Structure 1
Amino acid sequence: MAQNDNLAALAAAGVSVWLDDLSRDRLNSGNLQELIDTKSVTGVTTNPSIFQAAMSKGHAYDQQLAELAARGADADSAVRTMTTDDVRNACDVFTQVYAATNSMDGRVSIEVDPRLANDTDQTIAQASELWKIVDRPNALIKIPGTKAGLPAITKAISEGISVNVTLIFSVDRYREVMAAYLAGLDQAKAAGHDLSTIRSVASFFVSRVDTEVDKRLDAIGSDEALALKGKAALANARLAYVAYQEVFDNGDTFAALASSGANPQRPLWASTGTKNPDYPDTLYVGDLVAPNTVNTMPEKTMDAFADHGEVHTDSILGRGAESQEVFDKLTAVGIDMDDVYVVLEDEGVEKFKVAWTELLDATKTQLSEASKG
């Protein structure tokens, strides 16, 4: 089967194409393998909302739920079993990709319980538990880039666990995430771990920034404010890439670790589905092209790019100064970006908590019904 030209061109420009979705149906039908074969997909990300959606539709999980009910499983353990089974099986689907890319791609992410986002010790414990349960070298454990998540990132990396840091909105927090990763690598080296086996991505959320900033610009309503709509998210991501280059391309700390086999922590563009219908549906894909990055897309966005996406290789590199000007103008019209980031992080954590709670409640009901026969 031939690869789609547009997505193949994106991959050739240095952007790993990952699917932001996973379900038992997608695995059982062979759809995931088809996406690998035809749409250059080299990885998968999941989150609580994705699992909640997957398990609320159809009957793919019915048999396993019945078996878990017969064993007396509670909702938490049942959800853990079903989600880790899906991630393990997806990791196996990506085995060849993992080998062909020297372990860089072929990655499948699973997130720690979002209710632990502000609990460092419990996040560390569950990251280790999930890593052991999935038991695949191409898994990534998702840890939120909250303040409490930062020491958990360092600890997980120090133990040789590959990590996807999620819910990053600001460049300042991204710098803290990179520092946490480097500290973890340093500790892993001291503990005798093979640094070449440790991988990490930093998931920098994109479209939600425009959603929140645009709402505030509309409220301000001036011509200067309205002229900035749709510009904050891309500028934010471009400045994040500048920070990535400073640390991993030109930084002495990483250079020393790289001589021991360490890999850079790649920027991953997340939340890349366009939420404003007035914006191009491929905006956060074609305009975020740079080497050694990942773009994790909802299938709708991936299909749109396959159909009419354009790869703009000049969309990030060399645009740091221009992006800083956008932020200077946002400040000038009265946008408090620090507040924007706080709101987005809080909303992101809460959204995943709600999805996880809904999943647990639904699973509890299904287990009860299954146990009654």
Structure 2
Amino acid sequence: MSTPANIDALANAGTSVWLDDLSRDRLRSGNLAEVIENKGVVGVTTNPAIFANAMSQGTAYDEQLQQLAAAGTPADTAVFEMAADDVAEACDVFLPIYERTNGVDGRVSLEVDPRLAKEREATVTQARELAAKVGRENLMIKIPATEECLPAITDVLAEGISVNVTLIFSVSRYIQVMEAFIEGMSRAAGAGKDLTKIHSVASFFVSRVDTEIDKRLDEIGTDAALALKGKAGVANAQLAYAAFQDTLLNNPAWNALAEKGAPVQRPLWASTSVKNPEYPDTLYVTELAGPHTVNTMPENTLDATIDHGEVRGDTLSGTTDSARAVFAALDEAGVNLAEVWTVLENEGVEKFVNSWNELLGTLAAQLDAK
């Protein structure tokens, strides 16, 4: 296996590269194996929008849809039957990486129904069901970091299920996520679970922060405001990384768990494709490299990183002061940051729910036609 130089450089800086995409076509064509072999990818994330795109196109799912239709399977059950099969197959493809890295990488994520984003008990129940259905050690269940689901994150980890916490936008919410993680791992330890098998990442969204804040800076329109465009996303992630060091790495409660073999919950940079074409297309990769991190990328961002990314080693450590200065300037310019975080979380849930509902409608029609 020959890893591209820039992906190798990211790994040397401490950043694992995961692919933010999965489809049956990608699996069955051998493309996923090729991406692992030729592009240095060591994990995969999925979300409702990714599966909506995969299952709404082509013919890869037709045979299974025929079987599900014959069994009278409703659309919301069918979608998880198909998604779980894809994820299980992907887990098998990544198994050698999972074993080689002692479970740190070789991970595949599957998200709970986004309509459950404010329902703790239903989220825990579905996480348990999906983990059993996929039946692979290298699975991660994705749970949104809504206020209502923070206890669900703790509950699921306590049962020994690895978790990818998703839709994190603010540092304050991220700190709550890390606290939920520590509590979950503590409960798992108390229940006699093998902590070495319970892994977690915290998916901190980047580009959407710039999209929302840039819009507000344009509305303010002053020179000072406009000069801040494109700076918030990276600065926010840098502050998240500082919080990771303070709240987790330097936390005695966490260190006690680490001594028992618990793996650290790594920050994962998500939403890393640049939405503004004026910004460098590798902005959210090269500026966010550092120890104990993951960057999950759509393939176009991955290809750009391989082709012309300027990886400069650890670009996260030592950035706290400059990142704080960006946010002080945003506050001074008149950006209502508390409102930004609320809008982004609500929109994030809404986008996934809309994608899911569209997919369910499409699948219901396909099932009826079989």
Query: Normalising to structure 1: TM-score of the pair?
Result: 0.98
Q: Which residue of 2 aligns with 1:86?
A: 86
Q: Determine the C-alpha separation between the residues in 1 that align with 2:153 and 2:362.
A: 31
Cα deviation for residue 213 of structure 1 reads: 0.3
Q: Which residue of 2 aligns with 1:197?
A: 197
Q: Which residue of 2 aligns with 1:184?
A: 184
Cα deviation for residue 335 of structure 1 reads: 0.6
Q: Determine the C-alpha separation between the residues in 2 that align with 1:3 and 1:163.
A: 27
Q: Determine the C-alpha separation between the residues in 2 that align with 1:81 and 1:125.
A: 16
Check the 8 A contact 1:48/1:114 in 2, yes or no: yes
Q: Which residue of 2 aligns with 1:319?
A: 319
RMSD over aligned Cα atoms? 0.8
Q: Which residue of 1 aligns with 2:148?
A: 148
Q: Determine the C-alpha separation between the residues in 2 that align with 1:165 and 1:106.
A: 17
Q: Which residue of 1 aligns with 2:119?
A: 119
Q: Determine the C-alpha separation between the residues in 1 that align with 2:365 and 2:159.
A: 37
Q: Which residue of 2 aligns with 1:349?
A: 349
The 5 A counterparts of 1:52-91 are 52-91=52-91
Listed one character per residue, the Cα deviations across residues 266-285 of structure 1 (whole Å, up to 9, x for unaligned) are 00000000000000000000
Q: Determine the C-alpha separation between the residues in 1 that align with 2:264 and 2:97.
A: 19
Q: Determine the C-alpha separation between the residues in 1 that align with 2:251 and 2:313.
A: 24
Listed one character per residue, the Cα deviations across residues 143-178 of structure 1 (whole Å, up to 9, x for unaligned) are 000001100000000000000000000000000000
The count of corresponding residues between Structure 1 and Structure 2 is 370
Check the 8 A contact 1:11/1:40 in 2, yes or no: no
Task: Confirm whether residue 278 of structure 1 aligns to residue 278 of structure 2.
Answer: yes
Check the 8 A contact 2:3/2:38 in 1, yes or no: yes
Check the 8 A contact 2:291/2:314 in 1, yes or no: no
Task: Confirm whether residue 358 of structure 1 aligns to residue 320 of structure 2.
Answer: no
Q: Determine the C-alpha separation between the residues in 2 that align with 1:247 and 1:213.
A: 26
Cα deviation for residue 61 of structure 1 reads: 0.3
Structure 1, gaps ≥5 residues long: none
Cα deviation for residue 142 of structure 1 reads: 0.2
Check the 8 A contact 2:117/2:146 in 1, yes or no: yes
Helix, strand or coil at the partner of 2:16? strand
Check the 8 A contact 2:156/2:163 in 1, yes or no: yes
Cα deviation for residue 207 of structure 1 reads: 0.3
Q: Which residue of 2 aligns with 1:171?
A: 171
Q: Which residue of 2 aligns with 1:97?
A: 97
Amino acid at match of 2:259: S
Helix, strand or coil at the partner of 2:269? strand
Q: Determine the C-alpha separation between the residues in 2 that align with 1:225 and 1:319.
A: 21
Task: Confirm whether residue 16 of structure 1 aligns to residue 2 of structure 2.
Answer: no
Structure 2, gaps ≥5 residues long: none
Check the 8 A contact 2:20/2:46 in 1, yes or no: yes
Q: Which residue of 2 aligns with 1:135?
A: 135
Amino acid at match of 1:319: T
Query: Normalising to structure 2: TM-score of the pair?
Result: 0.99
Q: Determine the C-alpha separation between the residues in 2 that align with 1:211 and 1:247.
A: 28
Check the 8 A contact 2:9/2:313 in 1, yes or no: no
Q: Which 4+ runs in 1 deviate beyond 6 A?
A: none
Listed one character per residue, the Cα deviations across residues 252-296 of structure 1 (whole Å, up to 9, x for unaligned) are 110111111111100000000000000000000011010110000
Listed one character per residue, the Cα deviations across residues 188-247 of structure 1 (whole Å, up to 9, x for unaligned) are 111110111100000000000000000000000001101100110101000000011112
Helix, strand or coil at the partner of 2:42? strand
The 5 A counterparts of 1:198-347 are 198-347=198-347
Amino acid at match of 2:356: W
Cα deviation for residue 324 of structure 1 reads: 0.5
Q: Determine the C-alpha separation between the residues in 2 that align with 1:294 and 1:43.
A: 9
Helix, strand or coil at the partner of 1:109? strand
Helix, strand or coil at the partner of 1:312? coil
Check the 8 A contact 1:200/1:266 in 2, yes or no: yes
Check the 8 A contact 1:8/1:39 in 2, yes or no: no
Q: Which residue of 2 aligns with 1:159?
A: 159
Listed one character per residue, the Cα deviations across residues 275-324 of structure 1 (whole Å, up to 9, x for unaligned) are 00000000000110101100000011001111101112242100101100
Q: Determine the C-alpha separation between the residues in 1 that align with 2:48 and 2:186.
A: 31
Q: Determine the C-alpha separation between the residues in 2 that align with 1:31 and 1:10.
A: 22
Amino acid at match of 2:330: L
Helix, strand or coil at the partner of 2:46? coil
Amino acid at match of 2:41: V
Helix, strand or coil at the partner of 1:160? coil
